[in-house]
Amino acid sequence: MGCGSVYRKLCLFGPVMQKLHERLRAQNLWTLFLKLETVLCTTLALMELRGLSVNTNMMRNFSSVLQVFLNCFLNFRDFLMLVKQ
């Protein structure tokens, strides 16, 4: 890929960013985009290129722990609703 090709692609990028800016600004999302999405882009790109190793056993165990916490929360919520009546 020569410099001319990169330059042409960058020339196309400008109008796309301008339109993106207009749409996000109209929905009050531009600051969020700048502070969150643009920061994460590098990390997500590296994860995509390098791959991501996931310990499935740990995830299953953690899922069980979260389920216990969720059940406790729901039971407590139900208790509070009964007390309110």
CA distance 41 to 47: 10
pLDDT given for residue 85 in this prediction: 80
The pLDDT score that the predictor gives to residue 24 is 95
Q: Is the pLDDT of residue 9 over 60?
A: yes
Give CA–CA dist 16/20, Å, rounded: 6
Q: Given this model, what pLDDT does residue 2 score?
A: 57
Percent of the chain with pLDDT over 70: 95
Token pair belonging to 20: 């993106």
Half-sphere exposure of 2 (CA within 13 A, CB side): 1
pLDDT (tens digit, 9 = 90+) per residue, 35-62? 998 889 888 888 889 988 889 999 999 9
Position 3 scores a pLDDT of: 59
State the DSSP code for 37: I
